[in-house]
Amino acid sequence: MAQPQIVSKSEWITARKALLAKEKAATQARDALSAERRRLPMVLVEKPYVFDGPIGRVSLRELFGDHRQLIVYHFMFDPKWEEGCKSCSHFMDNSQGSVVHLAARDTAFVAVSRAPLAEIDAFKLRMGWTFPWVSSFESDFNYDFHVTLDPDRGSVEYNFAKASDLVQARKLWSDRGELPGLSVFLREEDAVFHTYSTYQRGLDLPLNTYNFLDLTPLGRQEEDGRAQAWIRHHDRYSTPVGSNTGGAR
């Protein structure tokens, strides 16, 4: 990867100001997009989804607690796997610190996976996470929200496109199996409404690892078509997560 050109300080200031104008325009465009997202219509959730949680069986409504909003991260963890997806683990490593503040804005958060609760709890303990995480193993939830693809169950769409078309275009490996996503719900009394879902690059925004790397001259350092191939579970990096390999102590 080519490094930036070496210039004088005055030339750098000129280039930086030109980029700043574009950054401000992008920020304004993002604010406008966020406002449009808030105006998106919503759909009543009529199916009675039930999950396995630490205190037993809970409904989708109960996942809200006393809050009006609920954010669900669809964490890839197939019932046959021994551990959760490394990319989803990367997502939650980035997000856990934010989750603790959501309640102050009347918003609950929960991760949902198809793995049995015992396997979820064991992996959660290994990773040192504290966010709520429930199992949808005996539920249609993953299929209905298109994060477990299975033509036999009628789940054939991902990111609002046919999974078979995405496979043909090499944007998916298979039209079967677990995939990541994030869904948002709003509660009016006991009625629950689905307001938003996002997948693939729509999950970039909460990834602060990438937000930091995007500020650097070397960027994400990923090969084309191999996004997140470098990601590991945080206890499997050769340099322990949280260690400081620089000069500061």
pLDDT of residue 241: 54
User: Residue written as tokens 């350092």?
Assistant: 221
User: Residue written as tokens 């078309």?
Assistant: 165
In a domain, 71, yes or no: yes
pLDDT (tens, 9 = 90+) of the chain, 249 residues, equals: 678 999 999 999 999 999 999 999 999 999 999 999 999 999 999 999 999 999 999 999 999 999 999 999 999 999 999 999 999 999 999 999 999 999 999 999 999 999 999 999 999 999 999 999 999 998 999 999 999 999 999 999 999 999 999 999 988 889 999 999 999 999 999 999 999 999 999 999 999 998 999 999 988 888 765 778 888 999 999 865 555 545 444
In a domain, 19, yes or no: no
In a domain, 115, yes or no: yes
CATH label of the domain that carries residue 90: 3.40.30.10
In a domain, 55, yes or no: yes
DSSP state of 238: S
pLDDT of residue 109: 98
In a domain, 16, yes or no: no
d(CA 211, CA 95): 12
In a domain, 150, yes or no: yes
pLDDT digits (tens, 9 = 90+) for 161-215: 999 999 999 888 899 999 999 999 999 999 999 999 999 999 999 999 989 999 9
Give the structural domain span for 198: 43-203
End-to-end, the C-alpha distance of the chain in Å comes to 30
pLDDT of residue 225: 59
3-class secondary structure, 99: helix
CB 138 within 8 A of CB 50: yes
In a domain, 13, yes or no: no
In a domain, 128, yes or no: yes
State how many domains the chain has.
1
pLDDT of residue 226: 72
